[in-house]
Structure 1
């Protein structure tokens, strides 16, 4: 069995653990840069190492029987290039939202990422939108393979949309500008007069926590609004089970940062939650407007408020949306299918 050496940002449940540890037919070595990035100790095992421990790349890859390297962000691909140069081991790099932008990137990133495109063997953008972006930057088309992030369908179990009179809206994601939470809060405020029993819960943590709390207080949302810190997957599933609608108002941030396709939308669709999102980045690859859910223009309070009102006023449409959404996940965003595709992409390089 071939072994792939993976480098990702952190060792925690949000950081692509299945794409590192569950690829069929492949063993793994899981690298992280520093001890402080070992954030979930339950994931620590004898295959986790620190990048700084590699003093002799040639000896290391021989000892660990490494056949392939996989960096899970563009910047991490750059960190593995010196090892590639010394060992001639093939390198693949996943491309996620910010990787295909200059948002908060270090000086020289554009030139360096083009060097990575030239020297790396394969690039796995997480949606076709990002594939087009890296192609525009100069990545050769023959090196690009789209690899969607998948959902564990055994973990996110489908249930028919709730048919009571509750009006609980849920959103989840890091509290950063591109997630659009401030737009959602303003849209929610606009519909409260018509739907006084509605509630909004946002799950996440990040640099915008205080501005979000301040906005909710300014709009006097009171008990209709909850902001929960980032929660484990099982708690997220519980919140999804209690929710009526899921809303992901993703948008391009002022610094140019964008999404790929948020995993929380896929998870909500898998569980049968009707979804409202935006025509942003790769999201239209996941949701066809008025088929698997409802999409609106990004960064638009009025359109989002209209969509919330439409969904809350047309509960009879929810089952149709939810059924189509679950089918889309099963067909194109099933974790097991995407892991098998990942293995096939590895096989291309290794002659498997």
Structure 2
């Protein structure tokens, strides 16, 4: 007798975004047979994948031309065909803006349908404004919705989602990749990891660092604000103490975290309304035994306990962030104490395995509670 593995069909905008979690899920032996289709793939030798990529492309073109009534049809038609082919027990769509392209297919197929919101798809003013009416339709169709933080859940409820259909589950960090360092013995280094975009607050981080009497600031990442960040460093005359390290692999970031004393991130609501979900880099820093100086933004306070695992300030409070950074840099033992408590907190509730277990239970719940054929 062979064991039956429940079938999960995934639709995602790009392979880069969605594949990692579900490849890990399969490798970990979670109870799903996963088939995934990505909107940026056009393999000529795989007709189904090519058709889905083409359908998504046509939907994007219709949207850009303003043909909104037609925009959902190409991707939805291919998705419906794929649902008929795979006969999944549950369908998962990654990102709200992508889920609206396939929601009619899921509704017509009468299959449990879960949408995974990740952050910018639910916060940026321009995107949310354009999609608001379709998001209302989306949450009425979806049997379940996954998001990263309580503020995101509140937005979903305002769009009409029932609280009983929402799962709040941060993506989680991987303990196998991020081992603990010792901030008490580390060099006086502040570490920031993230794209140089407004919601990550790299310019605010630099301004907070500029008043520090000692130490260096290492910044990992790339993005549209990098050039402005370099100019700001020159203007503040801290170019000898700020290092721009560029994009790094996970293993390289893990090594840098073991060398630093404090992790810093000034997350904030960007001018266009974009905001974080629950930054994975913050969890990875805590797994590495680093104390965190960050903001009271999105899901960060759920993970970082102010005064216990790090220090949190209000968004845009550069002076407050500078004071918090000074406090931890001047007291290596306190930094180590916060770092150890942060690692224990992430291990207890915010690892990748916790997220996958939460997601598995939630998907199975949708299968059990929805009758479909």
Normalising by structure 1, what TM-score? 0.89
Partner residue of 1:280 out of 297, 303, 306: 297
Indicate the residue corresponding to 1:42 in structure 2.
none
Q: Deviations over 1:23-55 (max 9, x none)?
A: 61012122211249x9xxxxxx99977443776
Matched, 1:141 2:163: yes
Partner Cα distance (1:320, 1:46) in 2: 55
Indicate the residue corresponding to 1:79 in structure 2.
101
Shift in Å, 1:58? 4.6
SS of alignment partner, residue 8 of structure 2: strand
The answer to whether the 8 Å contact 1:28/1:47 transfers is no
Partner residue of 1:176 out of 175, 197, 213: 197
Partner Cα distance (2:242, 2:326) in 1: 17
Q: Deviations over 1:236-267 (max 9, x none)?
A: 11211221111011111112111111000000
Matched, 1:128 2:150: yes
The answer to whether the 8 Å contact 1:171/1:201 transfers is yes
Shift in Å, 1:211? 1.1
The answer to whether the 8 Å contact 1:57/1:86 transfers is no
Pair 1:111–1:263, CA change in 2 (3 A): same
Shift in Å, 1:288? 1.3
Matched, 1:2 2:6: yes
Partner Cα distance (1:275, 1:212) in 2: 21
Query: Which structure features the higher share of helix residues?
Result: 2
RMSD: 2.4
Partner Cα distance (1:297, 1:10) in 2: 34
Q: Deviations over 1:99-132 (max 9, x none)?
A: 3324331763111111111111110111222112
Pair 1:263–1:141, CA change in 2 (3 A): same
Matched, 1:11 2:31: no
Partner residue of 2:316 out of 299, 308, 314: 299
Partner Cα distance (1:58, 1:111) in 2: 22
Q: Which runs of 5+ in 1 are unaligned?
A: 39-44
Partner Cα distance (1:125, 1:136) in 2: 14
Normalising by structure 2, what TM-score? 0.84
Pair 1:305–1:107, CA change in 2 (3 A): closer
Shift in Å, 1:207? 1.4
Equivalent pairs, count:
339
Indicate the residue corresponding to 1:118 in structure 2.
140
Indicate the residue corresponding to 1:263 in structure 2.
280
SS of alignment partner, residue 125 of structure 2: coil
Indicate the residue corresponding to 1:52 in structure 2.
54
SS of alignment partner, residue 99 of structure 1: helix
Indicate the residue corresponding to 2:65 in structure 1.
none
Partner residue of 2:35 out of 19, 29, 47: 29
Pair 1:16–1:170, CA change in 2 (3 A): farther
Shift in Å, 1:65? 3.8
Matched, 1:340 2:357: yes
Partner Cα distance (1:132, 1:293) in 2: 25
Pair 1:27–1:51, CA change in 2 (3 A): farther
Q: Deviations over 1:279-317 (max 9, x none)?
A: 111111001101111111111111111111111111121
Partner residue of 1:237 out of 237, 241, 254: 254
The answer to whether the 8 Å contact 1:171/1:202 transfers is yes
Shift in Å, 1:67? 2.3
Indicate the residue corresponding to 2:72 in structure 1.
none
Pair 1:2–1:70, CA change in 2 (3 A): same
